[in-house]
Amino acid sequence: MAEQVRPHTVEKPPLGDLGRRLAARRTELGLTRKETAVRAGIAPGYLEYLEENPLAAPGTSALLRLAEVLHTTLSHLTGGDTESPPGTARARLQPEFVELDPARCTALLGTHGVGRLGVATATGPVIVPVNYSVVDGAIVFRTAPGTTPARAAGCRVAFETDRIDDAFSEGWSVLVRGRAHLVTDPDDIRRLSARTYSTPWAGGRRELWMRVVPGVVTGRRIRT
């Protein structure tokens, strides 16, 4: 009798707040569902249920084990910290502050995400968040005419992005200083549209492309 081969199962998209947070965090750490479940001491099928069932209500014990494996907190997994800024946890007793070399800064910057753009205006400096990508070594993002980011065209700006891990009181930040340019060439615009990670989270018609060419890049890390 021929051996029966089980068909490959494809993970369904996570549903519900808890499911999305679980899937996003383990993906960020490069863990599969099975690896995460085994390390947390739960059945892979149960983790599948937690991620794909928006009505799942796991016990505190399972959530604490998952939070430990995923290097995060119970509050983060359950959405209890959505209205709090990062970094509310206590600092460790003997943290280590280190400067990051240019190569590491570039690698961290290239992960894309949300950063903060510092722009000089007539009433003083303004800092606004933008979701960005890195294309050919430059920071690129979309905005709309008349917005604060659009005022950066032709000016020297500062751009900062970071990651804070409240569970371990660790984090890093990368600071870029350079000049912002408005992208007008149609070929460049098509290339950026094809290579960027996502459309602006703010929504609306944001078809003005901006490029920040790094001049000076520095970074810092706090670890324990």
How many whole angstroms separate alpha carbon 133 and alpha carbon 112? 5
Rounded to a whole number of angstroms, the CA Rg of the chain reads: 21
Average pLDDT over residues 176-201: 88
Q: In this predicted model, which residue has the larger pLDDT, 13 or 69?
A: 69
How many whole angstroms separate alpha carbon 162 and alpha carbon 36? 25
For the chain, give the mean pLDDT.
Answer: 84
Nearest to 176 by CA among 112, 113, 106: 106
- Give residue-wise pLDDT tens across range 74-104: 888 887 766 666 666 666 667 788 999 999 9
State the angle between helix axes of 44-52 and 16-28 in degrees (0 to 180), rounded to the nearest 10: 120
Asked if residue 26 lies in contact with residue 70, where contact means CB atoms within 8 angstroms, the answer is: yes
Q: How many CA atoms lie within 13 A of 167 on its CB side?
A: 14
pLDDT beyond 80 at 122: yes
DSSP string, 135-185: ETTEEEEEE-TTSTGGGGTTSEEEEEEEEEETTTTEEEEEEEEEEEEEE--
- The pTM score is 0.67
How many whole angstroms separate alpha carbon 4 and alpha carbon 221? 52
Give residue 169's pLDDT band: very low, low, confident or very high (50, 70, 90). confident
Domains of the chain in start order, with CATH, are 16-77 (1.10.260.40), 96-223 (2.30.110.10)
- Give residue-wise pLDDT tens across range 31-65: 999 999 999 999 999 999 999 988 888 989 999 99
